[in-house]
Amino acid sequence: MVEITFVRHGQAQTGAPDEHSYDHLSDLGRQQADWLGQYMAECGHGFDHVISGTLNRQRDTAQIVAGHLGLDVSQDARLNEMDYFGLSNSLKETHALDIPDSRETFVAHVPQVLSAWQQGQIHSHLERFDQFQTRVHEMIAVSEDLGGRVMLVTSGGVISMAMRLLLQFEVQVHANILLQIFNTSIHRYVKTDGMLALETFNAVPHLDLPSRQEARTRI
């Protein structure tokens, strides 16, 4: 049996001007992760492996969730998010594309960034689109080889890229999906007839209570 569950990290430091400032869970982000861990423990859905990226927000989310399940967390940098700040700064310098300062401008910005990135229109020192795609593909293969139930705690860009690879859609759809991913959301694939099939997308059952619905965040 192979089951791969991607979990997005809790809310980070929204509005931060750079990756270093952004890469820390907010108080709400910690609460989201705690609620998710409680939910998973209460519903009895176990895991054989928990792997997070090495970024603070990913690692800390994984530790909080796994703490409720009595599991250890290993880390793999291939689950780290794409360098969105670097990509944004590159496009600002080369294409005069302003860095977004609101949800509305961010929605317009994401597809422009992904499209330019795929076309190679970024600074050469940054990770290429195909390199990012390759490492996400490698983590899917690692999870399949491990077998059992695997939780991968990562970021929205990795989750949407995994979906792009497994469901084979274009960059515009990739961007649209990325924009919809909730913090601490669950995305699950189950191997059926030799193929990974999407079972769950963007689920936040731990935030379904009326008192928690305002805790649903995307940025």
Taking only the tens place, the pLDDT of each residue in 8-62 is: 999 999 888 888 999 999 999 999 999 999 999 999 889 999 999 999 999 999 9
- The answer to whether 16 touches 162, Cβ cutoff 8 Å, is no
Query: What domains, with CATH codes, occur in the chain?
Result: 2-46+54-82+127-213 (3.40.50.1240)
Task: Describe the crossing of helices 84-95 and 103-118 by its angle, rounded to 10 degrees.
Answer: 80
Tell me the CA end-to-end span of the chain in Å, nearest whole number: 34
**Cβ atoms within 10 Å of 91's Cβ, excluding its own:** 21
pLDDT at 108: 84
Question: Which stretches of the chain score pLDDT less than 70?
Answer: none
pTM: 0.95
Query: Whose structure tokens read 């890229």?
Result: 161
Under a CB-based contact definition with an 8 Å cutoff, are residues 9 and 110 in contact?
no
